[in-house]
């Protein structure tokens, strides 16, 4: 995490006079290539370019944070999750183009960047004994824009697996190619003897390259 001074974060201090203020902002690094030892380099932020949050980062934006913390003080995280460090920075510095970064991924990272995110907003509708479970998917890439009505898929194909649980045991897995699936009354009777008032479920978005994504647990 860094604290750049952005054009969007500026505030008017007096008529005709704008004073930049600090804004806490995460930066994203789009890796094009990683060496065998996990090392990489690139730009974590470009000056004078509007980013997906519609912020424009100005030269000097990172100077104070870098002076206080240095590269060792910056965290390299998976999906901004403080519980999932994925590497270390060896160099972070401003140049004429932007914030230049060098770092190395941990061996334990093992392609987590390809792991689909957990779905959100799980809902269930009951009709004629059937339970239709629906959710909203998220995306690993290109999901920062507020303009599109739906985020991009980020996978080769849309696919999900929904586990129906009895305690910790999986009694059935339902597959779907859309963000909804129906657990029929007949299936419920086979699994539990009769339809139940609620069910514990785990929903995974699937990836052809990674497999199951991070699950979303819910009671429906």
- If asked whether residues 18 and 53 sit together in one domain, one would say yes
Direct distance between the N- and C-terminal alpha carbons of the chain, in angstroms, rounded to an integer: 37
Q: Which residues contact 180 (CB under 8 A, 6 or more apart)?
A: 132, 133, 134, 135
Q: H/E/C letters for each residue in 179-204?
A: CEEEECHHHHHHHHCCCCCCCEEEEE
What number of CA atoms fall less than 13 Å from residue 163's CA on the CB side?
Answer: 18
Domain shared by 213 and 141, yes or no? yes
203: CATH = 2.60.40.10
For residues 15 and 97, membership in a common domain is answered with yes
On whether both 101 and 132 belong to a single domain, the answer is no
> Domain range spanning residue 138?
120-219
Residues 23, 21: Cα–Cα separation, whole Å: 7
Q: Does residue 115 lie within any of the structural domains?
A: no
Alpha carbon 181 to chain centroid, angstroms: 23
Give a yes or no: residue 153 inside a domain. Answer: yes
Clarify whether residues 106 and 20 are in a common domain: yes
Q: Are residues 104 and 130 in the same domain?
A: no
DSSP of 17-76: EEE--B--B------S---TTSEEEEEEEETT-B-TTS-BBPTTTTHHHHHHHTGGGS-E
Output the average pLDDT for the chain: 77
pTM flag (> 0.75): no
Query: Cα dist. 43→17, 47, 94 in Å?
Result: 31, 10, 10
130 and 175 together in one domain? yes
- Name, in order, each residue with C-beta under 8 angstroms of 60's C-beta and a sequence gap of 6 or more: 5, 94
Same domain, 27 and 55: yes
Q: How many domains does the chain have?
A: 2
Are 210 and 193 in contact, with CB atoms under 8 Å apart?
Answer: no
Query: Which residue, 82, 110, 138, sits at the end of a domain?
Result: 110
Spatial contact of 24 and 16, defined as CB atoms under 8 Å apart: no
Question: What share of the chain has pLDDT > 90, as a percent?
Answer: 33
In-domain check, residue 4: no
Instruction: Determine which of 25-29, 45-49, 87-91, 192-196 has the lowest per-residue pLDDT on average.
Output: 25-29
pLDDT tens across 208-217, in order?
A: 767 788 899 9
The predicted-structure confidence for 181-205, as pLDDT tens digits, reads as follows 999 999 999 999 999 999 999 999 8
Q: Is the pLDDT of residue 139 over 60?
A: yes
Nearest to 199 by CA among 208, 189, 207: 189
């Amino acid at each position: 995490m860094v604290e750049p001074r952005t054009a969007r974060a500026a505030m008017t201090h007096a008529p005709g006079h704008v004073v930049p203020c600090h804004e806490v902002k995460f930066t994203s690094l789009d890796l094009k290539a990683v060496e065998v030892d996990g090392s990489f380099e690139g730009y974590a932020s470009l000056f004078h370019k509007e980013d997906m949050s519609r912020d424009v980062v100005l030269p000097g934006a990172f100077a104070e944070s870098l002076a206080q913390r240095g590269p060792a003080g910056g965290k390299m995280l998976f999906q901004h999750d403080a519980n999932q460090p994925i590497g270390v920075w060896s160099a972070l510095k401003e140049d004429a183009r932007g914030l230049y970064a060098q770092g190395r991924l941990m061996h334990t990272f093992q392609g987590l960047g390809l792991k689909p995110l957990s779905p959100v907003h799980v809902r269930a509708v009951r009709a004629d004994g059937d339970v239709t479970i629906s959710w909203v998917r998220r995306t690993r890439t290109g999901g920062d824009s507020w303009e599109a009505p739906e985020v991009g898929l980020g996978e080769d194909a849309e696919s999900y697996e929904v586990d129906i649980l009895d305690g910790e045991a999986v009694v059935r897995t339902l597959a779907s190619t859309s963000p909804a699936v129906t657990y029929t009354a007949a299936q419920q009777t086979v699994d539990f003897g009769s339809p139940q008032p609620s069910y514990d479920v785990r929903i995974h978005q699937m990836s052809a390259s990674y497999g199951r994504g991070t699950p979303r647990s819910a009671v429906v």
